[in-house]
Structure 1
Amino acid sequence: MIQQMYPAIAHRFVYELNKDMQFAAAHYVPAEQAGKCRQLHGHTYFANITVAGDELDASGFLVNFAILKQLIHDRFDHSLLNDDSDLFDDERPDRFPTTEVVARTICELVQAHLDGTANRPRCLQVYVRETPTSYCLYRPKDGESL
């Protein structure tokens, strides 16, 4: 994994953790304006997930790193993102597997898990690097339900 510094988000939580991971996945963007990206191609995605909260769980974790890996890496690694019809859609632009949508979707998956925990931490941001020169940062709005 490339050692990187990610943009920090200001918050008032006591704890913050960041989980880096990478996954290899293919996709295509089903839009005329996508140019070459309309064709099936792959990337080694680098993702950073920022979770924050005030309380630890019964194991002393804000969230177990292994759970984050299971939620994201195990689902996306060596997949065709477009085939995951629960998350992505070839008809709705807000669900095309672009870098922006992948970042938002990772945040939604993580927050859905966190909402079911007793300590209820928040996924504050997701950083997704698709290529060495292109990345997206997604931050849900304060109070936004995911």
Structure 2
Amino acid sequence: MLQQIYPQVQHDFQYELNKDMTIAAAHYIPHEDAGQCQYIHGHTYFINITIAGDELGDSGFLVNFRRVKELVHNRFDHSVLNNDKALFNDEDGNFFPSTEVIARTVYEIIQAELDSLAHKPQCVQVFVRETPTSYVVYRPKKKA
């Protein structure tokens, strides 16, 4: 069982859901500053998604854990991230599949799904661990 401690995000919602998953994927960073990471290589990414809200949906869930996994795991597991041209490209650093961009992209995928729900839960944090010693936390800016 995967058990990790994640940085906590402060929020005022009544419910907080966290979904952990592991993704095995390859990527490369197409920039000379990436050093050896310019070449295709793989990671076992550990991802934690934090969703919060004040109301439950008709199912009694804030959001179904299974649906969160379908949206992320089914799309990225056992893939070459750079090949997903709808999300990543080799021309703009904001869209290279770095850990930072992966975390933001996971947020965008999850939040798009949550926006379609009547009770409007919010993705408040995405944690992506690339190696045992390196991770990124993405938190969206609060809406004004």
Same fold by TM-score greater than 0.5: yes
User: For residues 53 and 3 of structure 1, what CA distance do their matches in structure 2 show?
Assistant: 23
User: For residues 89 and 67 of structure 1, what CA distance do their matches in structure 2 show?
Assistant: 26
TM, length-normalised to structure 2 = 0.98
User: For residues 92 and 120 of structure 2, what CA distance do their matches in structure 1 show?
Assistant: 31
Q: Which residue of 2 aligns with 1:13?
A: 13
AA at the equivalent of 1:18: N
Q: Which residue of 2 aligns with 1:86?
A: 86
Are positions 1:34 and 2:5 aligned together?
Answer: no
Q: How far off is 1:97 after superposition?
A: 0.1
* SS of 2:8 mapped into structure 1: coil
Q: Which residue of 1 aligns with 2:76?
A: 76
Q: Which runs of 5+ in 2 are unaligned?
A: none
* SS of 2:34 mapped into structure 1: helix
Extract structure 1 runs of 4+ deviating beyond 6 A: none
User: For residues 9 and 53 of structure 1, what CA distance do their matches in structure 2 show?
Assistant: 13
Q: Which residue of 1 aligns with 2:2?
A: 2
User: For residues 119 and 5 of structure 1, what CA distance do their matches in structure 2 show?
Assistant: 28
Q: Which residue of 2 aligns with 1:57?
A: 57
* SS of 2:30 mapped into structure 1: coil
Sequence identity (%): 62
AA at the equivalent of 1:136: V
User: For residues 44 and 10 of structure 1, what CA distance do their matches in structure 2 show?
Assistant: 28
Aligned residues: 144
Q: How far off is 1:2 after superposition?
A: 3.2
Q: Which runs of 5+ in 1 are unaligned?
A: none
Cα deviation, 1:84-119, whole Å, max 9, x if unaligned, reads 011101101000000000000000000000000111
TM, length-normalised to structure 1 = 0.97
User: For residues 62 and 47 of structure 1, what CA distance do their matches in structure 2 show?
Assistant: 19
